Amino acid sequence: MEKYIIKGGVALNGTVDISGAKNAALALLAASILADEDVTIENLPDVSDINQLIDAIAMIGATVNRVDRHTVIINGKTITSYVVEEEQMRKIRASYYLLGALLGKFKKAEVALPGGCVIGARPIDQHLKGFRALGAEVIQDHGMLNASADNLMGTHIFFDVVSVGATINVMLAAVKAEGRTVIENAAKEPHVVDVANMLNSMGADIRGAGTDKIRINGVEKLHGTVYSTIPDQIEAGTFMCAAAATGGEILVRNVIPRHLECITSKLIEMGCTVIEYDDAVTVKAGDFIRSAHIKTLPYPGFPTDMQPQMAVVLSIANGTSTVTESIFENRFKYMAELSRMGAINKVEGNTAIITGVGGLEGAKVSAPDLRAGAALVIAGLAAEGFTTVDDIVYIQRGYERFEEKLTELGAIIAKVDSEKEEMKFKLKVS
């Protein structure tokens, strides 16, 4: 089993280029099958979630041409099946986007219930509510979701809770429905806007993405397009936190600074210096990291996917901080792993209380999910001594060339898969 081994205590300095946004790219890939012409998607991150979804799209019969690591051409005209099997989808939550896309294209879809990180219940009731409002019958049977409709009709949908997945999924289903669909209490995340922009470039008529009210006028058909995925806000935030935690200075390139404002403002509040450019930000750690209070909220609030990385920085801040998680109830599993490294924290319900310590110590830890895994790597980089992070398969789901990018910033880190390799690394860097 592969793991990271890290020798910490080195300030990260230099420049890092951010990959395309995983969460946006997954939805764009699903959207591409709605057309019967070539859809070229550029700036894809080369991570396991993306590669698995591309494989799943090929398995239902779409023509898939992988031009290079970051570009794919997909044509949905050749799709022969509307069934996405469990085996393909067990590891990746975004499988559910194929439900909306296949329903929108064929008026029927059968997709296995999604997998992904175990960070709490992610109910898909709002997705199903949206499909039913459009006129589909949805049945859950033996771990499969079966949706079908004689015809999809535009309608007015009000989501009970803000859901990125449901907003995107209903957009995919409604884009070719008859008449007008209005989605109220819609998610405003950048990747919702990205999906709407790509669909519009394919001939869709979607207005209001990025607000809480999205209007979709159904169209008869969609055509091909060439579209580039937005930069990954969470990957960018992860490197920003790595600069803060290690006492370094990093220029984070290929970003949209506006998407990072909630992270930027929190780091400034904690004593870091952040300079914004047109498509980059520089983060310089402060000499004195102050405590802070964080509450995760839907965009433009503080993202739940940045909560673990920020908690690592707060673990070495001066004073007591609180982190309140309002999205996923099981997101604090990593706190026990941080405690192994000398962090002082206590979880009460959906709030973690973190008492800053002078420094962390290297230890053996395991990644419980994607973002927590990245956070533990940051903790290892900031800690004294050696840290090993197990279960890095989670991290590889969402970060491209993670250890290579960190190495280029001065980190002493390696991916190993045996005790022997681990010992060789320790001898080499000691």
Look up the CATH superfamily of 22-228.
Answer: Enolpyruvate transferase domain (3.65.10.10)
- Among 402, 384, 382, 407, CA closest to 392: 402
- pLDDT score of 319 more than 80: yes
Instruction: Give 284-314 pLDDT, tens digit per residue.
Output: 999 999 999 999 999 999 999 999 999 999 9
Q: How many residues are present in the chain?
A: 430
Does position 398 have pLDDT exceeding 90, yes or no?
Answer: yes
Residue 87 has pLDDT above 80, yes or no: no
- Which structure tokens are listed for 343? 């962090």
Q: Identify the band that residue 121 occupies on the pLDDT scale cut at 50, 70 and 90.
A: very low
Distance, CA of 166 to CA of 286 (rounded, Å): 40
Q: Report the percent of the chain where pLDDT is more than 90.
A: 90
Q: In 3-state terms, the chain is what percent helix, strand and coil (to 5)?
A: 35, 30, 35
Residue tagged active-site, from 117, 241, 262, 272: 117
Yes or no: is domain 3-19+231-429 CATH 3.65.10.10?
yes
- Active-site annotation holds for 272: no
Task: Determine the average pLDDT of the residues in 111-135.
Answer: 78
Q: Is residue 117 within 8 Å of residue 95, measured between CB atoms?
A: no
Domain boundaries, the chain: 3-19+231-429, 22-228
Q: What is the mean pLDDT of residues 198-217?
A: 98
Say if 3-19+231-429 and 22-228 have the same CATH topology: yes
Residues whose CB is less than 8 angstroms from the CB of residue 320 and which lie 6 or more positions away in sequence, other chains included: 291, 353, 354, 355, 356
